[in-house]
Structure 1
Amino acid sequence: MSNANYSEGKENYPLHECIFIGDVRKLSSLLRNNEVTRKDKHGNTALHLAVMLGRKECVQLLLAHSAPVKVKNLAGWSPLAEAISYGDRQTISTLVRKLKQQAREQMEIRRPDLIRALSQIQDFYMELKWDFHSWVPLVSRILPSDVCKIFKSGSKIRLDTTLVDFSDMRWERGDISFIFQGEKPPTESLTVLDNKLKVYQKVRYEETETEIEDEVDILMSSDILAAQMSTKGISFCRAQSGWIFREDRKETVAGLYQSEVYSISGLVLESRKRREHLSSDDLQKNKAILESLTKGNTQHLDTNGEPTRRASLNPPPESKVDWEAYISAPPGQYPSLGRAVVYKESSRSFRATISMSDDFPLSVEMLLNVLEVIAPFKHFAKLRQFVALKLPKGFPVKIDIPILPTVTAKITFQKFEFRDDIPDDLFIIPEDFIEDPLRFPDL
C-alpha cells in the first residue's frame, strides 16, 4: 500500500489501529475526541476489531464509552456474533448485557414520542385476521388462523388473541390479552393475561442473571445465525386480471374498503449461519441442548445444585495480520482475524401481494405506532417491519407476506371503527387473576 493510503488509514481510523496495536492507554485518550460508532472500510467498528482480536480491556473500555453492540459490518455480522466465534464466555456475557441495556435506553428515548403519538390518535377498535399458509403440504394443514382484536384508549392499548407463540411446526393457542398502559413507568407498563388460567405476567423490563447466563449458553451451543428479509430489489406493480383484456386488479376488502392490488417482487429471505465455534460433538448434541434450554430447563447441575455453564473455548491462534494488511484489503475482504470461518448461506425468493385502500380511516404512521407497542409478539414485529417499507399510496388493508422460511401470512384489516366508549376496565388486571412471572417464558 502506498504511504498516502497508509496515512489515510491511520488518520481516518485511529481507534481501529489502536485496537490492532493493543495500546489500551492510547485508546483511552483517543476516545475523548473520536467517534466510537465509526465504521472502517470493512464496516467494522472498533468494538468489532477488539472482539475479533481478543482485546478484552479494549472491549470493556469501548463499552464504557457506549460503543454500539447492535451494529453489523459489511459481511452482516455484529460484535456479538464475532464474540461467539472467538468463544470467550465473559466477553459474550458482557456484550449480551450491554446489548439489552442499549435496547432499553433507545426505547426510553423513543417512549415519550410514542406515548404522545398514541394519545393524539382518536380512540378506536380494530380487528386483524391472520391466516397462515405454507408451501409444505403437511405444515399447511396444521397451521393456525387468528382474529386479533385491538382496543386503543388514550395511550393505552389492549390486544386480544388466541395465538401465543408460533414457529414452523409448533404453536401455542390460548385466550391471551396483552395490555400496554402508556402512563405507567416502563417496568409496569406491559402485562400479558392468560384469561383461561386467570394468571398474568408483567413483561420483564430487565432479565435476571440466570436468564442472561442461560442465553449465553444457548448462543455458545448453537449456530451463529443471521436471517433477514432483503428488500434491496423490492418493487411494487399493479396486479392484473383478465385473460384476454388485461386490466388493473381491484378488490373490496372486508366488504368495506375499495382497494388496488399490487404484486410485490424482489423479497428475498437471506439466511446465513456460522459454526466454527462448535465441535463435532456439539453438532450432534445441538438439537437436544437447544430444546432443553428453550423450554427453560437447565440441563446439568453441579454438586451445589447450580447449573453447569458452558466454558470458554481455547482462544484462536494470535492473529499475524497487521494494521497495514488489514486496512489495505479490498472492502469486506480483509484476512481472517480469528477462527477460520465455517459458513453456509441460503436464500429464498418470495412473491407477495398487497391491497392498498384510500378508504381506511387509520394512517400507516398511526399503525406503525400501534404495532411498535405490541412488537413482543413475533408475527406483529414482522408485520411492522413490512409496513415500514415505502409502500404504494393508501393503507395496506390486506397483506400476503412471508413470516418464516416455509410460512406466509395473509393479514386482513377486516374491521375498524373510531369509538369514544371503550371501557377503562379493559386495561385493568382483573382482581381474581394471580401473578405468574413464568407463564410466558419468551416475554
Structure 2
Amino acid sequence: MAEPSNGDEEDSYPLHEAVFRGDIKQLSALLRKNDVGKKDKHGNTTLHLAVMLGRKECAQILLAHGAPVKVKNLLGWSPLAEAISYGDRQTISSLVRKLKQQAREQMEERRPNLVQALKQIQDFYMELKWDFQSWVPLVSRILPSDICKIYKSGSSIRLDTTLVDFSDMKWERGDISFVFKGDEIPSKSLTVLDNKFKVYQRVRYEETELEIEDEVDILMSSDILAAQMSTKSISFTRAQSGWFFREDRRETVAGQFQSDLYCINGLVLESRKRREHLSTDDLQKNKALMESLTKGNTQGLDSNGEPVRRSSLNPPPECGTTWIDYLNAPAGRYVGLGRELVYKESTKNFRATVAMSNDFPLSVDMLLNVLEVIAPFKHFSKLREFVALKLPSGFPVKIDIPILPTVTAKITFQEFEFREGITADMFQIPPDYEEDPFRFPDL
C-alpha cells in the first residue's frame, strides 16, 4: 500500500518515487511524459536512486530511455560512482557503455560547429611551454618540462610534444604527434604518432567488449575518486609591487606580449575518495591487479581461456529509509541508501597568478576550440577547464594551474604567428609508420 502523499514536494518527483518504491509498471508509464534527467532536492536523478537502491530493472529501463550518466548529485557523486559502491557488475557495465555512448553522441553533435569554428580561424603556429612544479621538497627537481608545438591549417590541428603521459606522479617521455583532421569521419579523425618507434594509433572511437570489461574490473578494484577545482569563491585581483608606493604589476611575456598580472584567489582543489566496496583482502590483491590492468595486460585466464573477472558484491542491507524520510531529509543529507560510506576528503588551497595580454592575436574562444580537439591529453583538458573560467579581459599568456594535489603547471604561450603555407603532409601518417592499436592504452 502506498504511503500517504506529502503534498506538492512529493508529487513533483513522480519518477523518483516510482524508482524508490521499485514500481516498474508505474515508472514505465511515467517515462512517457516526464524528464528522465530531472534532479530531486538532493541532486539525485532517477538513475542515482536506481543504482543506490539496487533497483536493477529500473536502472536498465532508465538507461534505455537515455538517462544521463555523467551527472553529479549535491555530494558530487555520479550514478556510476554509486553503482561501483553497490557492486553489481552488470549494472556497472551498462553504465560504462551508456556513458561512452553519450560522450560520443555529444561530440558528434558538437563536431560540425567545432570544425566550422576551426576553419574560420586563420592558419597559425603556436608554442606552449609547460613547467611542472611542486611544493614538496625535491619533487620539483625531477618533474618534467615540455614545449608543445601546435600547427593549425583549415580544420586540421597537429600537436608535437615530448610528454607522452603525465598522471599520478608518473610520466613518459617520447616524441609524439597528435593529429586531428576535421574533414575525416570520426573513426579516422584522431591519430597519435610515435615518431621514435615509427608507429601510429587511431584514437579509438568505440571500445571493444574486452576493453569495456577490463575497465569495469579496474573500477570495481579501485577507490572511487572525485577531484575537482572549486571555483565558487574564485576571484582575481591585480598583483602589485613596491613597499611604500604600490602599483599594479605588469610584465612582458616571451619578450613581446605586454601583460597585466593578476593574483587568483579562492582556488581550491577538492579531492574525495571512497572505498566501502573494497575489503582489506581486496586492497592487498588489487594492487598487483591494478598494475597489470593499467599496463594493458588482461587478468589471468580460467580453464576455458576466458579472463577471470571481478564478481558482483553481496548487496548491502535492505534500505530502511522510506520515501517520506528521504524527501524530508535536509538537502544532500539523506541516510540509509546503499552501502555505508568509507570516505575521506581533502582540500588544498592554491596561490596562482595569470598574466593577461591584449597583444596576443588569438582570442580565448579560439583557444577553447583548439584545446577541445586535444583534450584527450589530460593536462590539456585541465588547461581548457581553467581557460573556460571567467578570466579578466585579454588573453592568458601565462598561467599557473593545479594538475595534481601536489603539482602545479606554469603554461607560457611563448610564440604565436599566423602562418600561411602549412602543408597538408604535416597531417598525414608517414608511409613507413606501422599501426599499433595498443601503443597508448589511455587513448
| Shift of residue 296, structure 1, vs aligned partner | 1.2
Question: 2:152 aligns to what SS in structure 1?
Answer: strand
Match of 1:31 in 2: 31
Q: What residue number does 2:399 align with?
A: 399
Aligned-pair CA distance for 1:272:
0.6
Matched residues in 2 for 1:198 and 1:91: separation? 40
1:139–1:168 Cα contact (<8 Å) kept: no
Matches within 5 A, 1:341-352: 341-352=341-352
The structural deviation recorded for 1:425 is: 0.5
- CA positional deviation for 1:4: 10
Tell me: CA distance 1:126–1:295, structure 2 relative to 1, closer, same or farther (3 Å).
same
**Aligned residue in 2 for 1:72:** 72
- How far apart are 1:397 and its partner, in Å? 0.3
Question: SS in structure 2 opposite 1:6?
Answer: coil
CA contact (8 A) 1:139 1:169 kept: no
Shift of 1:52: 0.8
Q: Whole-Å Cα distance in 2 between the matches of residues 421 and 354 of structure 1?
A: 33
Q: Which residue of 2 aligns with 1:215?
A: 215
Cα displacement string for residues 240-261 of structure 1 (whole angstroms, at most 9, x for unaligned residues): 1122322100000000000000
The match for 2:13 is 13
Counterpart CA distance in 1 for 2:247 and 2:430 is: 54
- In 2, the alpha carbon distance for the partners of 1:357 and 1:178 equals 28
Q: Deviations over 1:36-57 (max 9, x none)?
A: 0111111111111111111111
CA apart distance, 1:168: 4.1
* 1:433 corresponds to: 433
Kindly indicate whether residue 422 of structure 2 is the aligned counterpart of residue 422 of structure 1: yes
Instruction: Say which is worse superposed, 137-146 or 70-79, in terms of deviation.
Output: 137-146
Matches within 5 A, 1:112-191: 112-191=112-191
| CA distance in 2 between partners of 1:107 and 1:389 (Å) | 21
Secondary structure of 2:7 counterpart: helix
Q: 1:390 is paired with a residue of what secondary structure?
A: coil
Code of the residue aligned with 2:138 in structure 1: it is L
Q: Report what 2:362 is aligned to.
A: 362
Equivalent-residue separation in structure 2 for 1:289 and 1:93 (angstroms):
19
Hey, what does 2:312 align to over in structure 1?
312
**Number of the residue aligned with 1:226:** 226
Q: Secondary structure at the match of 2:331?
A: coil
Deviations 1:2-24 (Å, cap 9, x if unpaired)?
x9981223320000110122111
Other-structure match for 1:287: 287
Aligned equivalents of 1:62, 1:110: Cα separation in 2: 24
Deviation at 1:288, TM superposition (A): 2.4
Judge which range, 96-105 or 330-339, deviates more.
330-339
**Aligned AA (1:335):** V
| Letter in structure 2 aligned against 1:365 | D
The residue that corresponds to 2:300 in the other structure is 300
Matched with 1:199 is: 199
Q: 1:331 to 1:4 in 2, by over 3 A?
A: farther
Secondary structure (helix, strand or coil) at the match of 1:19 reads helix
Contact 2:136-2:406 at 8 Å conserved across structures: yes
> How many pairs align?
441
Check whether the contact 2:159–2:178 (CA below 8 A) recurs between aligned residues. Answer: yes
State whether residues 146 and 161 of structure 2, in contact with CA within 8 Å, keep that contact through their aligned partners in structure 1. yes
CA distance in 2, matches of 1:55, 1:402: 39
Quote the residue 1:58 is aligned against: 58
Shift of 1:301: 1.5
Q: What value does the CA root-mean-square deviation take over the aligned residues?
A: 1.2
Please give the alpha-carbon distance, in whole angstroms, between the structure 2 residues aligned to 1:105 and 1:329. 36
Which whole-Å CA distance do the structure 2 matches of 1:337 and 1:410 have between them? Answer: 43
Matched, 1:256 2:251: no
Contact 1:130 1:145 in 2 (8 A): yes
**1:168 and 1:407 in contact (8 A); partners too:** no
* Contact 1:168–1:406 (8 Å) recurs in 2: no
Instruction: Give identity over the alignment, percent.
Output: 78
Q: Which amino acid aligns with 2:255?
A: G
Instruction: Report the CA distance shift for 1:23/1:5 in structure 2 as closer, same or farther (over 3 A).
Output: closer
Q: Verify the 8 A CA contact 1:51 1:82 in the aligned structure 2.
A: yes
Q: How does 1:79-90 map onto structure 2 within 5 Å?
A: 79-90=79-90
Q: In structure 1, what is the equivalent of residue 42 of structure 2?
A: 42
Which aligned pairs between 1:100-119 and structure 2 lie closer than 5 A? 100-119=100-119
Letter in 2 for 1:187: S
The worse-fitting range, judged by mean Cα deviation, of 87-96 and 9-18 is 9-18
User: Could you tell me whether the CA contact under 8 Å between 1:241 and 1:248 is conserved in 2?
Assistant: yes
Distance 1:287 1:243, change over 3 A: farther
Tell me how far 1:298 sits from its aligned partner. Answer: 2.2
Structure 2: gaps spanning 5 or more residues: none
- The separation in 1 between residues aligned to 2:285 and 2:357, in whole angstroms, is 51
C-alpha deviation, 1:286, in angstroms: 3.3
Task: Check the 8 A contact 2:187/2:204 in 1, yes or no.
Answer: yes
Q: State the AA in 1 paired with 2:354.
A: I
| TM-score, reference length from structure 2 | 0.98
